[in-house]
């Protein structure tokens, strides 16, 4: 079934910020089964930000002892074989935050979505934060439209669909997330997983658990049933449960 760690939000050392997700990121590395895994950073959502990669190199490379590489899909051109080699030779895929809608469009245009599905089937660890977490789900609660219009509302964006559900990041950090998710789920079947910053869902072979890098962080299942909206906090546990998260 594969391995995914999708992070609700948190800093990894941008200038002027404190590192917030170390416990989660150490679990990403542990899940790879390698002492010094090769981590491939994909910054498509941030427009191939080179400064973002510098932060990733300093944090995952220097601090957490990964080998790091980057896949610039906007600035560089690759053949299908080059893309496959770069993605499938890595131990960890880490996708950065930014514009989910634009990122998914580029991935599908270049066939990266299909290669990532192959990586998933080969047990390469798929991970990322915000847009880099939404992408693994069927849908996401996304601020992609705000990149061109700050007054725009949240949108339901399509992800790659490796996990059947809707993902909402930054649940405790951005005031519009809760009301927009409630409205969005009115027209979305199934459940949404809403994660605070410094929380993440870890999925291994069809089993899941929520992991945290701050004690105050929480995770929620939200859905509509009989014309009533439910927001259920997930109980904190180190144990894995079935990925078929129940509404009751």
Q: How far apart are CA 38 and CA 15, in angstroms?
A: 24
**In angstroms, what CA-CA distances link 90 with 9, 67, 73, 133, 134?**
23, 9, 16, 18, 21
The tally of domains found in the chain comes to 1
Per-residue pLDDT tens listing for the chain (248 residues): 699 999 999 999 999 999 999 999 999 999 999 999 999 999 999 999 999 999 999 999 999 999 999 999 999 999 999 999 999 999 999 999 999 999 999 999 999 999 999 999 999 999 999 999 999 999 999 999 999 998 999 999 999 999 999 999 999 999 999 999 999 999 999 999 999 999 999 999 989 999 999 999 999 999 999 999 999 999 999 999 987 654 43
Strands 163-168, 207-212: pairing is: unpaired
Strands 207-212, 199-204: pairing is antiparallel
Q: SS3 for 221?
A: strand
Q: By C-alpha distance, which of 93, 109, 157, 129 is closest to 14? A: 129
Residue at 43 is within a domain? yes
Residue 31 lies in a domain: yes
- Report the alpha-carbon distance of residue 144 to residue 152 in Å, rounded: 9
Task: For 155-169, give one letter per residue: b (16+ CB within 10 A) or e.
Answer: bbbbbbebbebbbbb
Return the closest-CA partner of residue 93 out of 123, 51, 64.
123
**What is the domain-level CATH number for residue 145?**
3.40.50.880
The residue to which tokens 């220097």 are assigned = 62
Is residue 197 one of the residues assigned to a domain? yes
Q: Are 87 and 79 in contact (CB under 8 A)?
A: no
pTM of the model: 0.96
Q: What is the pLDDT of residue 242?
A: 85
Catalytic residue list: 130, 170
Instruction: Tell the burial category of 57 from Cβ atoms under 10 Å away from its Cβ (0-12, 13-18, 19+).
Output: middle
- Report if residue 114 sits inside a domain: yes
Does 247 map to a domain?
no
On the 0-12 / 13-18 / 19+ scale of CB atoms within 10 A, 45 is buried
Note whether residue 248 is domain-resident.
no
Q: How many residues does the chain have?
A: 248
Walk across the sheet containing 38-42 and list its strands: 67-70, 38-42, 92-95, 125-129, 3-7, 199-204, 207-212, 241-242
Could you tell me the residue range of the domain that residue 136 belongs to? Answer: 3-242
């Amino acid at each position: 079934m594969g391995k995914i760690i999708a992070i609700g939000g948190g800093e990894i050392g941008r200038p002027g910020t404190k590192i917030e997700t170390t416990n989660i990121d150490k679990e990403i590395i542990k899940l790879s089964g390698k002492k010094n895994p090769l981590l491939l950073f994909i910054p498509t959502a941030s427009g191939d930000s080179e400064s973002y990669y510098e932060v990733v190199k300093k944090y995952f490379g220097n601090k957490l002892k990964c080998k790091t590489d980057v896949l610039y899909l906007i600035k560089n051109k690759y053949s299908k074989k080059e893309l496959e080699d770069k993605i499938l030779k890595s131990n960890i895929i880490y996708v950065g935050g930014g514009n989910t809608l634009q990122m998914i469009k580029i991935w599908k245009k270049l066939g990266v979505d299909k290669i990532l599905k192959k990586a998933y089937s080969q047990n390469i660890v798929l991970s990322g934060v915000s847009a880099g977490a939404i992408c693994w789900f069927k849908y996401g609660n996304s601020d992609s439209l705000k990149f061109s219009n700050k007054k725009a509302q949240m949108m339901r964006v399509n992800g790659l669909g490796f996990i059947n559900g809707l993902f909402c990041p930054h649940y405790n950090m951005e005031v519009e997330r809760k009301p927009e998710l409630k409205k969005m789920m009115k027209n979305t079947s199934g459940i949404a997983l809403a994660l605070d910053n410094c929380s993440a869902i870890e999925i291994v072979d069809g089993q899941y658990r929520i992991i945290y890098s701050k004690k105050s962080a929480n995770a929620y299942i939200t859905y509509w049933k009989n014309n009533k909206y439910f927001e259920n906090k997930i109980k904190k546990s180190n144990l894995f449960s079935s990925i078929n998260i129940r509404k009751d």
